[in-house]
Structures are given as structure tokens and as C-alpha cells.
Amino acid sequence: MEFSLIDRIRQRTAQSRDDVRLGIGDDAALLAVPSGQELAVAIDTMVEGVHFPRDTPAADIGWKALAVNLSDLAAMGATPAWALLALTLPRADEALIDGFADGFAQLAQTYRLALVGGDTTRGALTISVAVHGFVPPGKALTRAGAQVGDAVLVTGTLGDAASGLQLLQQRRRGDAQSNYLIERLNRPTPRVAAGLALRERASACIDVSDGLLADLGHICATSGVGAEIEAALLPRSSALLDLFDDVSSRGFALSGGDDYELCFTVPPQRVASVQADLARLGCGATRIGRIVEGEGVKVRDANGQWLESAHQGWDHFRA
């Protein structure tokens, strides 16, 4: 039964690439890294009830399992190429496999990403995906490099996914605005094209998976700087602003996480050109603050007062 499930995944996710010498079906894949490229590798695990609600459609799980990894490649400025999948299932559920594989393949096809191997086993529903991408030597974006005076920008809008989760938990769905926010939770858009556009332009970059405060905090810690954010500048969708008040929507935007937008820093003289290019890509970029001397992230409200934030982002092991 296990091998028939693997065949179902292979049939639904098949992608043809010249750099895949040997894919699914042997003890290991054989892959050719193109000349003049470095290999960027990332892995994420999703657990039912932790990373997605138990009644999430299988196709959405498949999409998101890949999207969160592609977001890591986007944050490095890498071009996606291959993936490995480790899938733990409570039972041999062909409908779940088919839906999962279809969602996974739908996103993979966008980037010509090939699933080249993996594993299946029995247990609580858990998905681990490892992705591989290419980046020219010395051109990868990292969390280090932010300089005092740099502008802080984010792509897209913030807070949608966290608010979508709250709507699901409160069983508030059905209208267009709620559905939009829930879709942002279940099917995030990895900003791969934006990451490629930021090569040699951004001084530091990270994807917003655990919340803006936490993830920008990682840039600050790695770069040895601090950041000041203007709460009034946080980009928030009309759906979020219509369904939640300003304080709640601001909290989602600062600490909610799961949006998988890019947060990055650029020298001030590059802001206009970067914003123009990302606008042409369809995701846009909003300037929300600046890098300063010191450490940590501070947030200022519209009246110029510093905000106290009790929630610094997601931490799996926080009590």
C-alpha cells in the first residue's frame, strides 16, 4: 500500500528537468547543480493542529507545505529547483494523498520545481519538505548586512494569515472578506520573484513566518543593529481593516506571522527603484521604518509614542 501511495504522489507531481538525472524510485536522487551556481537548501515541518487546523483541505495543506519552503528560498534570493517530501499519515488515505499532491503540484508547476524523492510513514499527520535552489556565488541574500540608516520595507500586506486563523477558530467564514483572509492563511504566495529582484540591492532579508517583530528582530540580532518601525505605515489589507479594529489589525500585522512576505533593508537611495520594480511584480513594497544604532525592534504609534508589545511572534517552545 505504501508504494502505491508513493506512485500516486509521483504521478500527480511529475516535473521534467534536465538537471534531474534520477528522481523518485531509487534509494537516492541524482541531481546536477549547474556550473557557476551555489546550492541553497531549506527545510520546514508542518504538524496538523500546530501549523494548520485539522479540517484544512488536503490541497491547501499540499500548497502550503511547499509555499513555506519556497518562501525561505525567496528570502535568500534563490531560484527554486528541487524538493524532497517526508509525509507521515495516520492511515493510507488515497483521497488525502490525491488532494495533497494536487495542491503541491499546482504551486510546484509555477516554478518548474521537481519533487525528486522522499519518504512515507505512519503516524500523526506531519509533512516535512526540503527545497533546493540556485543562487550565483556571493549573491545570496542573508539576515546579516543591515546598516544604520537603511530603510526597512515589507512586501504585500501583513496580518492577513493570523486574522484568517482567528476567523476559522471563531467559525466566521462565508463572506468575501473572511474568505480572502482564510485563503491568505491556507495558500500563502512565496515572493520568489521579489527575492530575485532584491539580489545585490537589499542589504538584509528574511521572510515573515513568525511575525514581523520576531523576524525583523532576527535581522537586527544578526546584523548588530536596531530598528524603529512606524505603526501607521504597516501595510494592511482592506479585508483586515474592515473586519478588525485598528488595534487588533496592528497586533496581527506586528506579531501574527504566517504571511510569508519578505522583510528587507535597503540603503535609502535604492528605495524608490526597489519599490517601482516590486510594484511591477505585483506584490509591491512598503517602507515601514529604518535601521538605527542599538538592538531590538521598537514600534512608534501615530502620536509618536513608543508601543509596548507583549507578543513578539511565534515560538514553538514558549510556555
Residue 89 CA: distances (Å) to CA of 233, 241, 256:
43, 38, 28
The pLDDT confidence band at residue 121, using thresholds 50, 70 and 90, is: confident
Quick check: do 2-135 and 151-300 share a fold?
no
DSSP-assigned states of every residue in the chain: -HHHHHHHHHHHH----TTEEE-BTBSS-EE-PPTT-EEEEEEEEEEBTTTB-TT--HHHHHHHHHHHHHHHHHHHT-EEEEEEEEEEESS--HHHHHHHHHHHHHHHHHTTPEEEEEEEEESS-EEEEEEEEEE-TT----S----TT-EEEEES-SSHHHHHHHHHHTT--SSHHHHHHHHHHHS----HHHHHHTTTT-SEEEE-SS-HHHHHHHHHHHHT-EEEEEGGG----HHHHHHS-HHHHHHHHHH------EEEEE-GGGHHHHHHHHHHHTS-EEEEEEEESSSEEEEE-TTSPBPP-S-----TT--
pLDDT > 90 fraction of the chain, expressed in percent and rounded: 75
Q: Phi and psi at residue 89, in whole multiples of 5°?
A: -120, 140
Task: Report pLDDT for 5.
Answer: 58
Reply yes or no on whether the pLDDT at 180 is more than 50: yes
For domain 151-300, the CATH superfamily is PurM-like C-terminal domain (3.90.650.10)
Range name among 6-15, 147-156, 198-207, 290-299 with the lowest pLDDT average: 6-15
pTM higher than 0.85, yes or no? Answer: yes
pLDDT at 200: 95
Mean pLDDT to the nearest integer, 110-120? 91
CATH number of 2-135: 3.30.1330.10
Q: What is the pLDDT of residue 4?
A: 57
Query: What is the average pLDDT across 60-74?
Result: 97
Say which residue, 319 or 85, is predicted with more confidence. Answer: 85
- Of 7 and 235, the one with more pLDDT: 235
Q: What is the predicted pLDDT for the residue at 136? A: 97
pLDDT at 103 exceeding the cut of 60: yes
Judged by average pLDDT, the poorest of 11-15, 139-143, 268-272 is 11-15
Q: What is the mean pLDDT of residues 114-120?
A: 89
* pLDDT bucket at 78, cuts 50 / 70 / 90: very high
The tens digit of pLDDT for each residue in 130-177 reads: 999 999 999 999 999 999 999 999 999 999 999 999 999 888 777 999
Q: What is the pLDDT of residue 310?
A: 47
The domain ranges of the chain are 2-135, 151-300
Does residue 106 surpass a pLDDT of 90? Answer: yes
The whole-number pLDDT of residue 27 equals 87
User: What average pLDDT does the segment 264-286 reach?
Assistant: 98
Give me the pLDDT at residue 7, please: 65
Which range is least confidently modeled, 155-169, 170-184, 199-213, 268-282? Answer: 170-184
Give 31-59 pLDDT, tens digit per residue.
999 999 999 999 999 998 777 888 899 99
